[in-house]
Amino acid sequence: MKDPYAVLGLDKSSSPEKLKSKYEELHEIYSEQRFKSGEEGNEGARKLQELEEAWVVISANIEQESRTSAFDGDFGNVDSLIRQGKYNEAQDILDSIQDRKGEWHYMQAIVFYKREWLTEAKTQLEMALREDPNNPKYRSSLDKLNLSMSGNGARNQMPNNGQTGNYGGYNNGQPPYGENGNYPPQQQPADNMANCLSSCCCAYCLTDCLCNAMRCC
């Protein structure tokens, strides 16, 4: 495949602005040329396609470079690890950095956010802003986080009241008869446990028999 930069007549060291303006210039020329008749039209169409394919590669390179240059040194590594989903390794690098200014807190907030630790992420963003109050990146991140946690997704809902009763004996362990654990008053306390156990056994056997008879489970 032809070198994409050569298609534009420039080289890799050219600035993104120069590359873009050359692309737009050539795009206009070839777009007009392809509507001409004969060989000239065909040539225009071929060059336009070549230009588009080259631009896909060049714009991807420009984006990649802008991403990596956004953070330098250790933070660049942290950023790269976060993008790969390696949050433990990213956290290890952050833990090893002693100088903890605004950018450190910002990166820590991102790691916490990716881990779903939203309260910790908010704390870190607030600390980043305390270090650098005028930073628009920190401010907009905190505003977005606050917005997503403000309950704007909630709609008016009726409170889930009045739903009482047992849902299985796992939590309350009450006997299967009698309400709120009140045993029939005429029984002596010493007999209560025995009666409870025998009633549980009866309930168990009854359930088992019923299940087998009804063949329901």
Among residues 3, 7, 118, the alpha carbon closest in space to that of 52 is found at 7
> Which run of H or E residues covers position 25?
helix 16-33
Choose which of 134, 166, 182, 186 interacts with another protein (CB under 8 A). 166
The mark string for 63-102 relative to another protein (x by CB under 8 A, - otherwise) is ----------------------x-----------------
Residues binding another protein: number (CB under 8 A): 40
Choose which of 2, 73, 155, 179 interacts with another protein (CB under 8 A). 155
Q: Does residue number 159 form part of the binding site for another protein (CB under 8 A)?
A: yes
Q: Which residue, 35 or 177, is less far from another protein as judged by CB?
A: 177
Angstrom distance (rounded) from CA 135 to CA 131: 9
User: Which one of the spans 40-48, 69-77, 179-187, 205-213 is the region binding another protein (CB under 8 A)?
Assistant: 205-213
Q: Does residue number 153 form part of the binding site for another protein (CB under 8 A)?
A: yes
Considering the complex, what minimum distance in angstroms separates the CB of residue 182 from another protein?
17
Considering the complex, what minimum distance in angstroms separates the CB of residue 2 from another protein?
38
Q: Does residue number 9 form part of the binding site for another protein (CB under 8 A)?
A: no
């329901």: which residue's tokens?
Answer: 216
Residue 47 tokens read as 């060059």
Q: Does residue number 180 form part of the binding site for another protein (CB under 8 A)?
A: no
Q: Where are the alpha helices (DSSP H) in 71-188?
A: 74-83, 87-96, 102-114, 118-131, 136-148
The dihedral built from the CA positions of residue 69, 75, 78 and 83, taken in this order, carries a sign that is negative
Residue 82 CB partners (closer than 8 Å, separation 6+):
90, 107, 110, 111, 114
Residue 165 tokens read as 């009763």
Considering the complex, what minimum distance in angstroms separates the CB of residue 73 from another protein?
28
Q: Does residue number 148 form part of the binding site for another protein (CB under 8 A)?
A: yes
In angstroms, the Cα distances linking 69 to 62, 110, 114, 150 are: 11, 18, 22, 33
Q: Which residue, 56 or 211, is less far from another protein as judged by CB?
A: 211
Residues in the site for another protein, rule: CB under 8 A? 85, 112, 115-120, 122, 148-151, 153-155, 157-161, 163-173, 204, 207-208, 210-211, 214, 216-217
